């Protein structure tokens, strides 16, 4: 099924005359940057999920909140859909434009408004890059914890919209745990403040509700984030295993021993080989799996924990364990993992990255299922895994020039996500549903749950103008694509227990 | 203790009660142990007791996740976690023996460790909820990272049962610290506030900091090495850890004086100009307990000026115990309530009049 917006199943959109809308915006906001020519709009036709592209009706690049307010009021009055976009690095098509909608580009809101070391917070505009916050806080020995792999480019507004994660989530939390306050404009152009400079705010926890809502409930115009003191030291251990099961057990044993590593990552053989070919990090290419376990904090505790983890790894049957000797080797160990995606990209003309999360105890089962599917579809799959929090990133290798290969890769990806749901997991841990996983939402949630989501949406955006077609599928879509089969007693992977 | 006999899935009963309430348009007053019934506005309705629906549904210490039914006694949940050396890191107050898991989440209150590890909602991973449309639904799950759909589970935390009936909640749990030490340092309030800001910028293993008007109580938690080093660095005298329980449960002498009790939540680096009255400073400056006869509006203006809000913990002492919302935000609250509970049957007006 084509992933692009389909009014028949995703809901009707109003017909808007581009020239009329342009004229109204121009008149109401004379200094607003409006892109309308094809060559200007082209760079905005997709986000990080480049396989799907749509030219927006118009793209607007405001730089003041008042401009955003006017844009929203005009679009609300005319019933024009609005798709917000930050840095455009999202991997699930959350910022994929609509041909009949305005693309609201927040990238020019790029100022750090306040950095308060005593209060340990930074107040920033939504277009500020994730890494720029930590860089600005560095002189005070503080940093912003969530570190999605795109942190050099992705914006904090997008991080809030997606509830972005990273490799340190188990210990330091997701975006939702590190944002204190957001300023929001609703679709009707009304300003609301969610959260507070204090640690809590009265009323419903709308800050939590809006975090990860994928631009469906409001437009974030300012973000106050928590800053943490930088850990004094970080050391990383690398352990090799002759089976993925043994590596998975070692992860459970480390956590069972009462240790919360700063980072805990697993890679399987194909991913190890790809990374080693690319980075020469000294990875053991003969191993079936490796674990990278980073311990951070105060020096004395880290030293204690290294010994504890080493003992656990030996006990769990690690075939080799090495501690990065110095900062350079630590960086090298991580370089292999952090470049796993491009490394896999060298092995194959194209790859497709999945983002399911599972309870860790089902790792062997899900990896076995993935291997079976990989064989069935004739496509290789490399596994990279945020082992500490159960977030898997299977990378499906394919060649888009081969007819039907993309469709096969997507179908395989969909099956892997269904497998994650079947063991009690989720279709997306950190990349978001966006447009990419809209059909799999029908597998994870039943009709009543989806209706509940639509009710939440209606409270903030009655006419469904914010980012239509993303995140929550229409019931019509679920019925049409037949993904409801899970709820009709005809489940995939019937051998798996469900709860 | 024979848990098998007492534990039971009574969600069908609860669903039936909600459906009856919907059919007859009768509001329900959701209650577990009733230990937090003082909190929020007084509400009336048919009592809906959650306590028969109880028991731990799943717990795997190596996953750091536990799922419990809403009526499970909080003490039972914490005892089970304790056996595996784990805990609810946000230290929820009980305010009485009968406190339940559902009430703890609905109230959304957290204890002394909150500024360092997070609040109730930060540890909620998933929930099951009976809705205002008479459906029993599941949101979130038993995994740490989950961004599929809206985060309904965290929305439920602190919603005072106004958006639906929680039947089951999954939490992230954490290992208990290997080492814990309570210190008392003689210093005045102003010095303590300056220290809080300094210490907050350093990776010290502080997990509780309270100034009781006389001196500063600190708790250090972590590995043996870091606790010992911090203890040497900070000085002070070793003190009893029982203080933190007494603080959490409001059993300190401070709480027994007659004036109304206010919880004032402010920015951690603020210097709120609170009205006259005894003060206890918790959360490293971010939470002030205030005993005052001053009018609600005075307390609230001072809290708001310090980036926060004030909530009255003494029933009847303020017309709206919870800090009133700005008009636009209140309108969106009403819209959300109307969408999720169109007949207005769940704890009407418990949070705010008109909600």
Tokens of A466: 């914010």
How does pLDDT run across B187-216, given as a tens digit for each residue? Answer: 999 999 999 999 999 999 999 999 999 999
Residue B145 has pLDDT above 60, yes or no: yes
Of the pLDDT bands very low, low, confident and very high (cuts 50, 70, 90), residue A2 is: low
Dist CA A58 CA A26 (whole Å): 12
Q: Residue A308: closest CA among chain B residues belongs to which residue? A: B223
How does pLDDT run across B73-120, given as a tens digit for each residue? Answer: 999 999 999 999 999 999 999 999 999 999 999 999 999 999 999 999
User: Cβ distance A427 to A441 under 8 Å?
Assistant: yes
How does pLDDT run across B295-341, given as a tens digit for each residue? Answer: 999 999 999 999 999 999 999 999 999 999 999 999 999 999 999 99
Pick from A359, A441, A459: which is nearest to B63 by CB?
A359
Residues B201, A120: C-beta atoms closer than 8 Å:
yes
Residues A176, B149: C-beta atoms closer than 8 Å:
no
Residues of A in contact with B226 (CB under 8 A): 297-298, 300-301
Nearest to B146 by CA among A262, A204, A433: A433
Of the pLDDT bands very low, low, confident and very high (cuts 50, 70, 90), residue A76 is: very high
Scanning A279-298 for CB atoms below 8 A from B yields 297-298
Q: What pLDDT does residue B6 have? A: 83
**Percentage of chain B exceeding pLDDT 90:** 97
Tokens of B313: 């913990």
Q: Report the Cα–Cα distance between both ends of chain B, in Å, rounded.
A: 41
Residues B63, A197: C-beta atoms closer than 8 Å:
no
For residue B187, count other CB atoms closer than 10 A to its CB. 16
Dist CA A22 CA B291 (whole Å): 58
Dist CA B349 CA B355 (whole Å): 5
For domain A7-105, the question of CATH label 3.30.43.10 is answered with yes
For domain A233-343, the question of CATH label 3.30.70.2190 is answered with yes
Of the pLDDT bands very low, low, confident and very high (cuts 50, 70, 90), residue A484 is: very low
Helices (H), A42-139: 65-78, 130-137
Nearest to B290 by CA among B322, B319, B257, B316: B257
Q: How far is B175 from chain A (nearest CA, A)?
A: 5
User: Cβ distance B61 to B84 under 8 Å?
Assistant: yes
Q: Tell me, which fold does domain B3-175 have in CATH? A: 3.30.465
Dist CA B51 CA B62 (whole Å): 28
Contacts of A93 (CB under 8 A, 6+ apart): A3, A46, A47, A49, A52, A434, A435, A436, A470
Tokens of A390: 């159960």
- Specify the domain boundaries for CATH 3.30.43.10 within chain A: 7-105
Dist CA B142 CA B138 (whole Å): 11
Q: What pLDDT does residue B198 have? A: 95
CATH class of segment(s) B179-248: alpha beta
Per-residue HEC secondary structure of chain B comes to: CCHHHHCECCHHHHHHHHHHHHHHCCCEEEECCCCCCCCCCCCCCEEEECCCCECEEEEEHHHCEEEEECCCEHHHHHHHHHHCCEECCCCCCCCCCCCEHHHHHHHCCCCCCHHHHCCHHHHEEEEEEECCCCCEEEEECCCCCCCCCCCHHHHHCCCCCCCCEEEEEEEECEECCCEEEEEEECCCHHHHHHHHHHHHCCCCCEEEEEECCCCEEEEEEECHHHHHHHHHHHCCEEECCHHHHHHHCCCCHHHHCCCCEEEEECCCCCCCCCCCCEEEEEHHHCEEEEECCCCHHHHHHHHHHCCCEEEECCCCCCCCCCCCCCHHHHHHHHHHHHHHCCCCCECCCCCCCCC
Residues of A in contact with B148 (CB under 8 A): 426-428, 433, 437, 441, 444-445
How does pLDDT run across A244-262, given as a tens digit for each residue? Answer: 989 999 999 999 999 999 9
User: Cβ distance B123 to B87 under 8 Å?
Assistant: no
Dist CA A416 CA A418 (whole Å): 5
Nearest to B310 by CA among B319, B318, B301, B300: B300
Q: What pLDDT does residue A7 have? A: 95
Q: Is A447 on the interface with B (CB under 8 A)?
A: no
Q: Residue B328: closest CA among chain A residues belongs to which residue? A: A192
Mean local confidence (pLDDT), B166-189: 97
Q: Is the ipTM of this complex over 0.85?
A: yes
Q: What pLDDT does residue A167 have? A: 87
Residue A160 has pLDDT above 70, yes or no: yes
Of the pLDDT bands very low, low, confident and very high (cuts 50, 70, 90), residue B11 is: very high
Dist CA A107 CA A43 (whole Å): 13
Q: What backbone torsions phi and psi does residue A382 show, to the nearest 5 degrees?
A: -100, 140
Dist CA B212 CA B216 (whole Å): 7
Residue A175 has pLDDT above 60, yes or no: yes
Residue A1 has pLDDT above 50, yes or no: no
Residue A51 has pLDDT above 90, yes or no: no
Dist CA B181 CA B238 (whole Å): 7
Residue A496 has pLDDT above 60, yes or no: no
Each domain of chain B, given as residue ranges in start order, spans 3-175, 179-248, 253-312
List, as one string, the DSSP characters of A317-380.
T-SEEEE--SHHHHHHHHHHHHTHHHHHHHHSSEEEE---B--GGGHHHHHHHHHHHHHHHT--
Q: What pLDDT does residue B4 have? A: 52
Q: Is A439 on the interface with B (CB under 8 A)?
A: no
Q: At what angle do helices A405-422 and A363-377 cross, to 10 degrees?
A: 160
Burial of A378 (0-12, 13-18, 19+ CB in 10 A): exposed
Of the pLDDT bands very low, low, confident and very high (cuts 50, 70, 90), residue A364 is: confident
Task: Report the DSSP pairing between strands A320-323 and A233-241.
Answer: antiparallel
Does an H or E element contain A476, and which?
helix A475-481
Which SS3 state, helix, strand or coil, does residue A296 take? strand
Which residues sit opposite A12 in a β-bridge? none
CATH number of A112-229: 3.30.465.10
Pick from A165, A258, A300: which is nearest to B145 by CB?
A165
Mean local confidence (pLDDT), B257-268: 96
Nearest to A269 by CA among A280, A282, A285, A249: A285
Dist CA A206 CA B240 (whole Å): 38
Mean pLDDT of chain A: 93
Q: The dihedral of CA A192, A198, A200, A202: what is its sign?
A: negative
Residues A192, B308: C-beta atoms closer than 8 Å:
no
Of the pLDDT bands very low, low, confident and very high (cuts 50, 70, 90), residue A482 is: low
Residues A206, B340: C-beta atoms closer than 8 Å:
no
Q: Residue B139: closest CA among chain A residues belongs to which residue? A: A449
Of the pLDDT bands very low, low, confident and very high (cuts 50, 70, 90), residue A338 is: confident
Strand order in the sheet with A58-61: A33-35, A58-61, A102-105, A82-85
Residue A490 has pLDDT above 50, yes or no: no
CA distances from B35 to A43, B100, B299 (A): 58, 9, 25
């Amino acid at each position: 099924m084509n992933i692009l917006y389909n009014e028949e199943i995703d809901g009707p959109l109003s017909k808007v005359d581009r020239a009329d809308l342009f004229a109204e915006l121009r008149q109401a906001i004379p200094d607003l940057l409006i892109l309308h020519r094809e060559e200007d709009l082209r760079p905005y036709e997709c986000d990080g999920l480049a396989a799907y592209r749509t030219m927006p009706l118009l793209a607007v690049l405001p730089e003041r909140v008042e401009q955003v307010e006017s844009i929203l009021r005009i679009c609300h009055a005319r019933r024009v859909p609005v798709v917000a976009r930050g840095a455009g690095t999202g991997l699930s098509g959350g910022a994929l434009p609509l041909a009949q909608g305005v693309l609201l580009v927040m990238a020019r809101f790029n100022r750090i408004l306040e950095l308060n070391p005593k209060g340990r917070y930074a107040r920033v505009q939504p277009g500020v890059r994730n890494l720029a916050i930590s860089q600005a806080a560095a002189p005070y020995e503080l940093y912003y914890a969530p570190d999605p792999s795109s942190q050099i480019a992705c914006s904090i507004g997008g991080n809030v919209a997606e509830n972005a994660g990273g490799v340190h989530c188990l210990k330091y939390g997701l975006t939702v745990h590190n944002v204190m306050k957001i300023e929001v404009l609703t679709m009707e152009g009304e300003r609301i403040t969610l959260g507070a400079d204090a640690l809590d705010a009265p009323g419903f926890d709308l800050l939590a509700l809006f975090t990860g809502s994928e631009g469906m409930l409001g437009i974030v115009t300012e973000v106050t984030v928590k800053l943490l003191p930088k850990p004094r030291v970080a050391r990383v251990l690398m352990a090799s295993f002759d089976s993925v099961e043994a590596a998975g057990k070692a992860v459970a044993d480390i956590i069972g021993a009462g240790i919360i590593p700063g980072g805990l990552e697993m890679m399987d053989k194909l991913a190890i080989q790809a990374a080693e070919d690319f980075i020469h990090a000294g990875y053991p290419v003969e191993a079936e799996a490796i674990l990278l376990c980073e311990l951070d904090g105060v020096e004395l505790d880290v030293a204690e924990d290294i010994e504890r983890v080493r003992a656990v790894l030996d006990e769990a049957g690690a075939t080799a364990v090495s501690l990065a000797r110095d900062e350079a080797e630590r960086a090298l160990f991580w370089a292999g993992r952090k470049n796993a995606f491009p490394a896999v990209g060298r092995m194959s003309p194209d790859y497709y990255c999945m983002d399911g999360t599972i309870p860790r105890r089902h790792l062997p089962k899900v990896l076995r299922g993935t291997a079976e599917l990989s064989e069935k579809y004739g496509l290789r799959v490399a596994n990279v895994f945020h082992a500490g929090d159960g977030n898997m990133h299977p990378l499906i290798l394919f060649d888009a020039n081969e007819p039907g290969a993309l469709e096969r890769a997507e179908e395989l990806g969909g099956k892997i996500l269904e497998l994650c749901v079947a063991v009690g997991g989720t279709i997306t841990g950190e990349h978001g549903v966006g447009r990419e996983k809209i059909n799999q939402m029908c597998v994870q949630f039943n009709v009543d749950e989806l209706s509940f989501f639509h009710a939440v949406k209606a409270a903030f955006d009655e006419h469904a103008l914010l980012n239509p077609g993303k995140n929550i599928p229409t019931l019509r879509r679920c019925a049409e694509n037949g993904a409801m089969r899970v709820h009709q007693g005809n489940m995939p992977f019937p051998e798996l227990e469900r709860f | 203790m024979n848990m098998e006999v007492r534990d039971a899935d009574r969600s069908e009963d609860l669903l039936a009660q909600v459906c009856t309430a919907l059919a007859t348009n009768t509001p329900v007053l959701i209650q577990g142990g009733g230990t937090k019934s003082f909190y929020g506005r007084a509400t009336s309705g048919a009592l809906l007791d959650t306590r028969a629906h109880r028991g731990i549904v799943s717990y795997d210490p190596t996953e750091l996740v536990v799922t419990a039914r809403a009526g499970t006694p909080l003490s039972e949940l914490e005892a089970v976690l304790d056996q595996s050396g784990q805990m609810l890191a946000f230290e929820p107050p009980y305010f009485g023996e009968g406190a339940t898991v559902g009430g703890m989440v609905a109230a959304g209150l957290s204890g002394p460790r909150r500024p360092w590890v997070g609040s109730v909602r930060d540890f909620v991973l998933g929930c099951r909820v009976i809705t205002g449309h008479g459906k029993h639904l599941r949101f979130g799950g038993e995994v740490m990272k989950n961004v599929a759909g809206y985060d309904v589970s965290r929305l439920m935390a602190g919603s005072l049962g106004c958006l639906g009936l929680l039947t089951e909640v999954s939490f992230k749990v954490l290992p208990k610290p290997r080492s814990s030490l309570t210190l008392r340092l003689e210093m005045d309030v102003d010095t303590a506030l300056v220290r809080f800001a300094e210490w907050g910028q350093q990776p010290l293993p502080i997990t509780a900091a309270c100034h009781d008007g006389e001196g500063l109580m600190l708790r250090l938690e972590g590995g043996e090495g870091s606790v010992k080093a911090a203890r040497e660095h900070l000085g002070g005298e070793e003190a009893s850890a029982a203080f933190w329980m007494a603080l959490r449960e409001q059993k300190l002498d401070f709480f027994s004086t007659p004036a109304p009790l206010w919880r004032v939540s402010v920015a951690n680096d603020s210097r709120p100009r609170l009205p006259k009255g005894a003060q206890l400073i918790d959360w490293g400056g971010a939470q002030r307990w205030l005993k005052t006869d001053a009018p609600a509006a005075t307390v609230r203006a001072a809290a708001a000026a310090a980036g926060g809000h004030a909530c009255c913990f003494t029933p009847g002492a303020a017309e709206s115990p919870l800090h009133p919302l700005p008009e636009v935000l209140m309108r969106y609250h009403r819209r959300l309530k109307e969408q999720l509970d169109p007949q207005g049957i769940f704890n009407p007006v418990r949070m705010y009049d008109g909600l």
